[in-house]
Structure 1
Amino acid sequence: MVKKKYLWRHPAGRIYVRLKGRLYRIHAQEGTEDFDREYWEILTGKRMQAKTSWNALIEDYRTSDRWLGLKPRTRQDYDKVMLYLREKIGPRDVKSLTRSDVIAAQKANSHRTRFANYIPQMLVILCEHAIDLGWIANNPAKGVRALKTPQHRKKEHLPWPDWAVDKFRAEASDLPRLIFEIGVGSVQRPGDWVGFRWGDYDGDSLTLRQNKTDKPLVLPCTAELKSALDTAKAALGVIPIAGKPILSKLDGNPMGYRYMSQVMLRERRRLGLEAYDLHALRYRGVQELAWQGCTDDEIAAYSGHATKAMIEKYAGEARQVMRARQAREKRK
């Protein structure tokens, strides 16, 4: 065996190649063919991509029924993690992954807890696919504990109070007001608002297939939402084609989530309502349904919530206030 004179071992046990004043880590286990290959690739500047690389695995996974059967929203979340994995370990051999590697990647992203917890989740799925392909025998990503969001970083969505709703409706500009009414009236996730087309509105109801759940819904409009939609439609001057987005930029192009979020943030700042965000509009809608005596099942039929945890939280708060006021009246 040729002696590898450029190796340097970290006190923690990690092995690096010291080359031209820089350190390049070798991820494979010492004494293996993969270790030798990584060493010479670093030394020659030719990091060859293994046939069983993460890049190759991700490409194959994206053609599988595991991927094709996912809901659009789930694909979006997974795509972000797979892009990260491509950038960090794309050319590396899948077989060299260890549990400690998974935990280290998760820890490196602990400043963004949700994304950090998606990393082991995505690696579990990819490793299961690698097992199916015969590349590995075990799944080193399984069983990695999810990180908890630190208390100081937790941010609750404050449901819009009556005075804030009244102020926004009275003083907001036309486009932010339309976005606002879609949020409260449809009781959907903000990511779905930009997907509404004029063909989804029949003058009384909106139709939708949710991005996250792929669930089809018919949403009867509130009086405020119907008025806002009718006003926006009339302002176009012509009957819009069915495929035209209801929420469009000034140049007529479709509005994305980020653009919509910026429009609303500017308006909320202008009106002194920055504390109440987009997601909280959905919770306001849930509370309004609860105030009208709707059951959790009826609210879920409108909002499309897959589980009732959020409904129970925000509808429960609304019912508590309502009952407390009723109790006050009885005390008089």
Structure 2
Amino acid sequence: MAKRELPKHIYRQRNGLYFQRRGWPSQKLVTEFGTPEFWKEYSDILSGNEAPKRVTSRNFSSLISQYRKSPRYKNLKPRTALDYDKYLDFFEKIMGTANPSNMKRKDAIRLRDANAQKPYFANYSVRVLRILMEHCVDLGWRETNPVKGVPELKIQKTEREPWPLELLLAYRVVCAHGTRERLVMELCLGTGQRIGDVLEMRWSDIQDGAVFVRQNKTDKELWVPILPELQATLDAASRHSIFILTNERGTNRWSYRGASAAVRKVRDQIGALAYDIHSWRYNAACELVEAGCSDDLVAAVTGQSPAMVLHYTKKVRQRIRAQQAQQKRTERSNN
């Protein structure tokens, strides 16, 4: 395709067609040339409906601003977007005026290694930077993504464990009915849901003796019957907001940071720092297996995939099977 066949300001590059005009940011077109969709996209760019505002310089501040306006960012789950924001703000603070076109692979590695004492932060920063630089490529600011293929730091992962029964009892002793700390625990444990979904629960989600859940991460819809212990906690809770778990003023839902900090205080008090909020989801899955539930019954409550059900319950399964195996040995010996 010759340039003369393309409309004004449209140029072909190795990875597609780009809108390029002096004083405007380069922008990759996503539609096929010559189609009605292409001409609409081209018209929207020229009219300003599609393209970001003109920029006078290419720097990380501008790149981050444009990324946040893109479908790539807007289609993120709310919790994921919040996580990304922390790293985008970090990038803007340390290199906002730098030109992303000049970034090299060694720069990404240097950034990773500078935060090696915080491996989770270091690795997550590499992931977000990789996505941001891919958007830089899509804008036509550079040809390749220098962060692609940069390895993450190896982390010695600790297997998460469900809360031991004695610590659950200690938690209930310290946190009486009517407290938010007790309510968040019973909701997580009783429904088997992620903390993010629990914090989004509303009183109107309680239907026919169950909690209706639309999982934020998977979009699955679940109807989870309420256990007696959870019902007793719900009966003792105040209902001055549409959300079941609210902030201190009762004006909005309880934030993840607030809930995590409050639960951590209790964990510290009872000696349960090795077990966190997410471990309650492990408790729910393990209790279902111990009750004799099949994997599909466990998933009906937790909404997990078969692989995740196995992952969450592998240790309790081993104990159950070992008990069954040893019982068979005993029965054989007696015979």
Residue 170 of structure 1 deviates from its aligned partner by 4.6
In the aligned structure 2, how far is the partner of 1:250 from the partner of 1:143? 45
Given the alignment of the two structures, is residue 164 of structure 1 paired with residue 167 of structure 2, yes or no? Answer: yes
CA deviations over 1:34-79 (Å, ceiling 9, x no partner): xxxxxxxxxxxxxxx9621111111112222211222222212211
CA deviations over 1:128-164 (Å, ceiling 9, x no partner): 2222222111111111112111x3xx44333112233
In the aligned structure 2, how far is the partner of 1:68 from the partner of 1:326? 51
Aligned equivalent of 1:138 = 144
In the aligned structure 2, how far is the partner of 1:197 from the partner of 1:123? 35
Partner AA of 1:179 in structure 2:
V
CA deviations over 1:150-197 (Å, ceiling 9, x no partner): x3xx44333112233334335532222222111111212223322211
Aligned equivalent of 1:225 = 230
In the aligned structure 1, how far is the partner of 2:106 from the partner of 2:76? 28
Query: TM-score, with normalisation over the residues of structure 1?
Result: 0.74
Partner AA of 2:223 in structure 1:
V
Matched ranges for 1:72-87 at <5 A = 72-87=78-93
Partner AA of 1:248 in structure 2:
T
Given the alignment of the two structures, is residue 251 of structure 1 paired with residue 255 of structure 2, yes or no? Answer: no
Query: Helix, strand or coil: the match of 2:144?
Result: coil
Aligned equivalent of 1:322 = 320
Task: Specify which of 74, 80, 85 is matched with residue 68 of structure 1.
Answer: 74
Aligned equivalent of 2:127 = 121
Given the alignment of the two structures, is residue 90 of structure 1 paired with residue 131 of structure 2, yes or no? Answer: no
Given the alignment of the two structures, is residue 268 of structure 1 paired with residue 267 of structure 2, yes or no? Answer: yes
Would the aligned equivalents of 1:120 and 1:142 in 2 still touch at CA under 8 Å?
no
Residue 327 of structure 1 deviates from its aligned partner by 4.2
CA deviations over 1:109-141 (Å, ceiling 9, x no partner): 222222212223222222222222221111111
Partner AA of 2:188 in structure 1:
G
Task: Specify which of 54, 58, 61 is matched with residue 55 of structure 1.
Answer: 61
Given the alignment of the two structures, is residue 147 of structure 1 paired with residue 153 of structure 2, yes or no? Answer: yes
Aligned equivalent of 2:293 = 294
Given the alignment of the two structures, is residue 207 of structure 1 paired with residue 207 of structure 2, yes or no? Answer: no
In the aligned structure 2, how far is the partner of 1:275 from the partner of 1:57? 40
Would the aligned equivalents of 1:186 and 1:219 in 2 still touch at CA under 8 Å?
yes
Residue 286 of structure 1 deviates from its aligned partner by 1.0
In the aligned structure 1, how far is the partner of 2:270 from the partner of 2:140? 59
Q: Which moved more, 1:308-317 or 1:107-116?
A: 308-317
The verdict on how the C-alpha distance between 1:112 and 1:192 changes in structure 2, with shifts beyond 3 A counting, is farther
How many residues of Structure 1 are paired with residues of Structure 2 in the alignment?
Answer: 273
Residue 304 of structure 1 deviates from its aligned partner by 2.8
Q: Which moved more, 1:277-286 or 1:159-168?
A: 159-168
In the aligned structure 1, how far is the partner of 2:64 from the partner of 2:320? 52
Q: Which moved more, 1:86-95 or 1:123-132?
A: 123-132
Residue 282 of structure 1 deviates from its aligned partner by 1.0
Residue 217 of structure 1 deviates from its aligned partner by 2.9
The verdict on how the C-alpha distance between 1:309 and 1:104 changes in structure 2, with shifts beyond 3 A counting, is farther
CA deviations over 1:75-109 (Å, ceiling 9, x no partner): 12211111111111111111110000011111112
Partner AA of 2:120 in structure 1:
R
Would the aligned equivalents of 1:50 and 1:93 in 2 still touch at CA under 8 Å?
no
Q: Which moved more, 1:97-106 or 1:289-298?
A: 289-298
The verdict on how the C-alpha distance between 1:273 and 1:115 changes in structure 2, with shifts beyond 3 A counting, is closer
Query: Helix, strand or coil: the match of 1:91?
Result: coil
Partner AA of 2:134 in structure 1:
E
Would the aligned equivalents of 2:174 and 2:266 in 1 still touch at CA under 8 Å?
no
Query: Helix, strand or coil: the match of 1:147?
Result: coil
Partner AA of 1:312 in structure 2:
L
Query: TM-score, with normalisation over the residues of structure 2?
Result: 0.73
In the aligned structure 2, how far is the partner of 1:275 from the partner of 1:125? 33
In the aligned structure 2, how far is the partner of 1:171 from the partner of 1:92? 52
Unaligned runs of 5+ in 2: 1-54
Query: Helix, strand or coil: the match of 2:69?
Result: coil
In the aligned structure 2, how far is the partner of 1:300 from the partner of 1:115? 31
Residue 210 of structure 1 deviates from its aligned partner by 2.7
In the aligned structure 2, how far is the partner of 1:300 from the partner of 1:112? 34
Query: Helix, strand or coil: the match of 1:278?
Result: coil
